[in-house]
Structure 1
């Protein structure tokens, strides 16, 4: 099974210069916890609800004056739409992420594949990936 068969194909792409308030409102409207961040037609990061809380709210930064760029996660892992789902789930497990942007071979964003998408497959390896992605982290790092 290929990633394109289970991914969510339509996603908002956040601009790195928009405020985190705007990004949070998009997340609420779309009922998602993460948005890919794009600039000059390229994926440059991801912003998650956790990024907003840990890097802005906890630091008492203004939601109306803090840009997505200031709190987004850079160095984003991704997969291609024609990758097999097992490989994408292994990548999610390795990096302990719950969502992966999905690119076409021209490196244009075409969707997002989430842990929930993988969990709906009946394959045994999907359950192993779920365990690895959700493994507890070292609390001393927090």
Structure 2
């Protein structure tokens, strides 16, 4: 399977100076609790719903939060639609990244892959089928073939 088969495609991209309330509107419209923070100069990070709420709370208490760029997480890696999921999963584990931003040929964000997409039933079922032939049940299942 490939990144294009599981990536979340309707992720909003907002500029780092975007106000938190505007970012929340963009997140709501995308129906995905994640924003990519970027502009014509590059991608700066990701903002989850949790980070947005915590940032708004910090801002309300007088914290130095002006826009989503101030609360963006750097815990991600880049990928492309044609990368094999197995390879992406290995890279995410190695980098200890929680998400992968999918870039197109023009280096624009076109999607995101998170552990949720990697653990979808289709991906797990296909990985299990490819990993364990019907005649070779894994030892941890407690079953034997035949």
TM-score exceeds 0.5: yes
Name 1:130's counterpart in structure 2.
none
Name 1:45's counterpart in structure 2.
45
What CA RMSD, in Å, does the superposition of the two structures yield over aligned residues? 2.7
The whole-number CA distance in structure 2 between the counterparts of 1:98 and 1:80 is 16
Give the deviation of 1:101 after TM superposition.
Answer: 0.9
TM-score by length of 1: 0.69
Give the deviation of 1:55 after TM superposition.
Answer: 4.3
Q: Residues 1-142 of structure 1 correspond to what in structure 2 (within 5 A)? A: 1-40=1-40, 42-58=42-58, 60-61=60-61, 66-74=66-74, 76-120=76-120, 121=123, 122=125, 123-124=127-128
Give the deviation of 1:26 after TM superposition.
Answer: 2.1
The whole-number CA distance in structure 2 between the counterparts of 1:95 and 1:51 is 21
Give the deviation of 1:105 after TM superposition.
Answer: 4.1
TM-score by length of 2: 0.67
- Number of residue equivalences: 123
Query: Does structure 1 retain, via aligned residues, the 8 Å contact 2:76–2:99?
Result: no
The whole-number CA distance in structure 2 between the counterparts of 1:80 and 1:16 is 23
